[in-house]
Amino acid sequence: MATAKVLAGARVVLPTGTVDDGRVIVDGPRIAGSAPADAPVVDLSGHWVVPGFVDIHNHGGGGASFTSGTVDEVLKGVHTHRLHGTTTVVTSLVTGDMDFLARRAGILAELAEQGEIAGIHFEGPFISPCRKGAHDETLLRDPDPAEVRKLIDAARGQARMVTLATELPGGIESVRLLAEHGVIAAIGHTDATYEQTVEAIDAGATVATHLYNAMPGLGHRAPGPIAALLEDERITVELINDGTHLHPASLELAFHHKGADKVAFITDAMDAAGFGDGRYMLGPLEVEVSDSVARLVEGGSIAGSTLTLDRAFKRAATVDRLPVEDIVRALSANPARLLGVQDTVGSLEPGKDADLVVLDEAFDLKGVMRKGEWLVRPELA
């Protein structure tokens, strides 16, 4: 039985630009270059078709935590984000005891080996107590390369990124270790100076964890990490575009300095994403979510977000007025390239996975396809 189908009539965002009245041919789990003459046609006129979103920094959703949930709960969280267009998810862990993090890495590694997630991000415990955000200060530690290696090994080849305060003892050596093992060294939750940040970039760091947040502000005499991260073309900056973490001018500044190819929109989502207000746990810390903003009960620090990437897309298009092609780079192509999976996801090209999102003219999500299967079926399909 023929499996090919043609999605036709939409504005399709390709690596080369937007095609009006475009066509995407889906054959089984992948995008095809041609279709049989009798392949069914799905009319998506009046819509956008964009690649499935890739989230490299996500702690949970749907009421489920990637740090503490059961396997079924982790899968529930992943599915929640898929329903919002994120067809590729890296699961992020918050600071915890080293043995606990190693055990969690083993659990998540199995899901990565099964293709359910795209790997593991360790956000902590190797971060600065001065910029700890929603991390338990009693569990923080310096980035001893031996301990960093322990987590990498526990992840069985599925570690994708480690966030470090690279100014701490062992930080530069740990960056070099990560680079040697093909794991992204991300600078974040840091109190580093400008000069210390430059040293870390030269050692191999390539990502700024949620730029602006959990690091010193930009100063005219002491420019700090932000200036170093913005100016260096080797760095891709994560941005949480939820209207809480960033002022629109800060987002514009990042795009101006980095260009659209060096920005990755992330959610930094916690359990409440796609679930609702209430009390939650982020690792060992209690979080209150009110009006979709997550803050620690004790101290009031922002505790991740309740963002989903379809909302980040809509805000970028309607509030920030970014070109749709630039938004697609930040949500799909750039994070896919960082993860090294650009040959299979991140853009709409023949041979790649049929991961795509259908949006209406107001940039509201109307359909999600993953590996050729509709997870959210457009009403016209």
d(CA 155, CA 139): 20
Q: For residue 95, what are its two tokens?
A: 């600071």
The yes-or-no answer on residue 268 being catalytic is: yes
Selecting among 27, 55, 242, 268, the annotated active-site residue is 268
Closest alpha carbon to 188 in 170, 158, 215, 223: 215
d(CA 152, CA 160): 9
Sheet with 236-239, edge to edge strand ranges? 53-58, 86-93, 120-123, 159-164, 184-187, 207-208, 236-239, 263-265
99: left (phi over 0), alpha (psi -120 to 50) or beta: alpha
Query: Taking the alpha carbons of 327, 329, 334, 337 in that order, is the dihedral positive or negative?
Result: positive
- C-alpha dihedral, 101 to 105 to 107 to 108, nearest 10°: 130
Closest alpha carbon to 52 in 72, 70, 26: 26
- What amino acid positions are annotated as catalytic residues? 268
